Structure 1
């Protein structure tokens, strides 16, 4: 990256003169490169990837702005995204982060975000498609949540898994599961909450002041339980987090029965991204859910 030329690109896009004093590579993600930029306008985080991923960054910027506008939980301030020298880039305000903070308050803040509801005639979806990792995530508007989860979440992942060599028996079971989805919603009608969409422990932290912060979103309007379920997939959230959450947004008594159903989406996506043992994990989860549905 030619930092002097990139500074000129930033200056033109932001409408002010930006000088980049230093650029330091930082770790954290496995999808994009990231740099801490020390500039005349302050410190920024710059994420870069190949030009073909420009939409990934523009959709991430859109999600960050939507969450910020909810005035509920902290996110890094999104500045701009674009193309430079055949690279896609995303510029965020740099935030010093730590793993330590008030987990109960993190739960309360997330619950406040989930209470931002979409009340339109077709409330489930988003105003653009985005990405879950590097996988396209489809967000066509639907009136019915079960229909949305079937057609915009599970079915596309299974179709991709077929192309990636998932065992036919697992695929057949997955499609049978889609036909049985109503079982988990007989006494539960979710509202369309503003979601992070990819809320595992690696996408949440605390600022140096102890405030909870979330980042790398794949947002849409959907059942708030999907975010909660993913916090359980890889860990990283304490019991205080769930207690704090339930103080603001009551957790339905049937939530635990839907946790594996919602995390199946991410498990199949991990198979599509990484292969390996995720195929067996998906097969086991699908069979357990089918057994539950009878």
Structure 2
């Protein structure tokens, strides 16, 4: 999809900026990504898609705003959402431009260490930036509205019990979606019961989590600061972010060392790691099918074979 012809007047109306050039850049697998060159020499970043995808871009903007508020000066750098809406026949999200580091360097491990520490600071500070209904208990999990994990739906709402939230709003909808699409997995009812028991006594702090923290959604800027983007935010167990950071290739060890130095995880956090990552495997099975279906079944079988 090319940039919409109406993008120049749309930017002028929404942001008061003059667009002089627009270049495609590498982005994700969902939207088209663009570098916007402005008349005053600045750059912006934009994503475009069909108008039906506006809810995805609006949810992304909301998530970035929440992360930025919790990050403060010490947390990871977060792109600033500047505008989103419909321009001609396209949905558009405009963000601040970040110069990302390319390639490897000896200093990069230090940058990853600092990013881990910065994420821990964001998680901790988010406890002071609660986004919960005024009539709800302080210790609740979820988000005010549904959003997206990749291009898949992510149900939210509020729940006082973390285990119930993770089973009912994360695992069960993914399993039901697979079944509706003709890809049912085996022993799913037993898995949901087991997951509820495994998380039954776990009472984590309801931190703001990125929610989709794999290596494609983080980077290091040219000035050495870590940045996170493309979130699927909600309030939950901070361990979900650290678990996914080990999935799909994983982050360098320096990242986990930096996080641990700032805010160590509970000693038993590995008991929940594969359970938390099952959510992302199920989502990939729903989005892409193929080998992910077998990987999900193997994960379920492995979890049910665990002692205790």
- TM surpasses 0.5: yes
How many Å apart are 1:188 and its aligned residue?
A: 3.2
1:210 is matched with which residue?
A: 224
Residues in 2 aligned to 1:130 and 1:279: alpha-carbon distance in whole angstroms: 23
Residues in 2 aligned to 1:4 and 1:174: alpha-carbon distance in whole angstroms: 49
Residues in 2 aligned to 1:129 and 1:11: alpha-carbon distance in whole angstroms: 31
Q: Find the residue that maps to 1:59 and give its secondary structure.
A: helix
1:6 is matched with which residue?
A: 7
Query: Aligned-pair RMSD on alpha carbons?
Result: 1.7
1:87 aligns with 2:96: no
Q: 1:191 to 1:137 in 2, by over 3 A?
A: same
1:290 aligns with 2:304: yes
Residues in 2 aligned to 1:20 and 1:53: alpha-carbon distance in whole angstroms: 23
How many Å apart are 1:140 and its aligned residue?
A: 0.9
The within-5 A match list for 1:42-191 is 42-70=42-70, 71=72, 72-98=75-101, 101=108, 102-115=111-124, 116-117=126-127, 118=130, 121=137, 123-167=140-184, 170-171=185-186, 173-185=187-199, 188-191=202-205
How many Å apart are 1:182 and its aligned residue?
A: 3.7
1:281 is matched with which residue?
A: 295
Q: Find the residue that maps to 1:136 and give its secondary structure.
A: strand
How many Å apart are 1:86 and its aligned residue?
A: 2.0
1:162-221 deviations in whole A, cap 9, x for unaligned?
A: 122224xx24x1221111124433653211001111000010001100000001011110
Residues in 2 aligned to 1:5 and 1:184: alpha-carbon distance in whole angstroms: 52
2:282 is matched with which residue?
A: 268
Structure 2 unmatched runs, 5+: none
Residues in 2 aligned to 1:162 and 1:4: alpha-carbon distance in whole angstroms: 42
1:21 is matched with which residue?
A: 20
How many Å apart are 1:242 and its aligned residue?
A: 0.8
1:123 touches 1:192 (CA, 8 Å); kept in 2?
Answer: yes
Further displaced range: 108-117 or 3-12: 3-12
Further displaced range: 228-237 or 94-103: 94-103
| TM-score using structure 1 length | 0.93
Residues in 1 aligned to 2:38 and 2:264: alpha-carbon distance in whole angstroms: 44
| TM-score using structure 2 length | 0.89
Q: Find the residue that maps to 1:92 and give its secondary structure.
A: strand
- Number of residues of Structure 1 aligned to a counterpart in Structure 2: 289
2:6 touches 2:87 (CA, 8 Å); kept in 1?
Answer: no
Structure 1 unmatched runs, 5+: none
How many Å apart are 1:141 and its aligned residue?
A: 0.6
2:178 touches 2:286 (CA, 8 Å); kept in 1?
Answer: yes
Q: Find the residue that maps to 2:6 and give its secondary structure.
A: helix
How many Å apart are 1:153 and its aligned residue?
A: 0.4
1:3 touches 1:20 (CA, 8 Å); kept in 2?
Answer: no
| Larger helix percent | 1
